[in-house]
Structure 1
Amino acid sequence: MKEIKKRSECPVSFSLDFFGDKWTLLIIRDIVLHGKHTFGDFLQSGEGIATNILTDRLKMLEEEGFIMKYPVAGKARTGYCLTEKGTTIIPIVIELALWGVSQHNNNLQKELTAALRKDKAGVIKELTSKHLQLYRSQKSNTALNT
C-alpha cells in the first residue's frame, strides 16, 4: 500500500506526498465530480487505472480516513464515499479542475464550469453537503447492520 512518509514539517511537502501520484486525486475526482462509488466504476475511468493500483489507493484513502467503504444495497458490491475528512479535498479538486480548464479546454462539464465561475464557493458548499449527506447515511446504515 502507498504509504505517506513525512519528510518534513512542511504542509506543502505533506500535500505533495499525499497527492504525489495522479491516482489518488483521480479517485477523489471520480467520487466528487462523476458520482462514481464502486471499484468497477473507478475502473471505467478514461485514465485506465490498474486493478492493483486502484486497490492500493482505495485502501490508503480508507486507512487515512478520507473515504469509507459501505455495502451497496441489494448488490454484493462495496461502495466508497468521502468521509467528513475527505470532503476537505473537494475545494482542491475544484481548483485543479478550474486551473486545468484555463490551461487546456478539457472535458469538465460546461454547466459545472459555468456554475463554478459564477459561484465557486456555493458549488463547493453544495458538493460538500451532498457528500457529507451520503457519508452520514452510509455510516448510519453500516452501524445499524453491525
Structure 2
Amino acid sequence: MLAKPSTIEAQQTSSERRMLPPPSARQIALETTAPPPRIDVYTTDRPGADFMVDVLKTLGFDYVCANPGSSLRGLQESFINYGGNQAPEWITCCHEESSVAMAHGYFKIEGKPLLVMAQGTVGLQHASMAIYNAYCDRVPVYVVVGNIVDANKR
C-alpha cells in the first residue's frame, strides 16, 4: 500500500517564494566585522583578596576546596598567585557538595578543619546536604560564600 506524497511548503517553486531585499551595507558590515572585545576590569595593584588570603593563612588551614567560578575569581587568583598555592593549597572540586564532603572526611582523619569556598546562593544550596551531614556528625566545616561583584545585581 502506497500513500500519496504530501505537499511540503519548502518545495515551492522560486516564483512562488517571497524574495527578500539584499542586505544593506550596514548589515553586511555588522556581520563581517569582529565585535569589539568586552573588557571587564576587576583587578587592582593590591586587591582585597590578597589581604583575605593573609588572614586565612593565619587561621592555619592546610587546604581550601572549591568549585571555581565568577564569584570567587579574585580569591582563587590570590590563593594561587599571591599566596603561592601553599598553606592553604587550592583544591579544585567538581561540585560544592563534594568540597564539603572532603572537608568532613579531612576533619575525621586529620582532626583539623578544611576551608570550603562556594558560589553565592546556588553554591551554598548545592553544599547544603553535605553541610547537614557534617552537622549530624558534629564536624566543623568552614564555608566562605562568594558574592556577585555588582552590588546592583545582588
* TM > 0.5 fold call: no
Higher helix fraction (1 or 2): 1
TM-score w.r.t. length of structure 2: 0.25
* Structure whose CA Rg is larger: 2
After TM superposition, the score normalised by the length of structure 1 is: 0.26
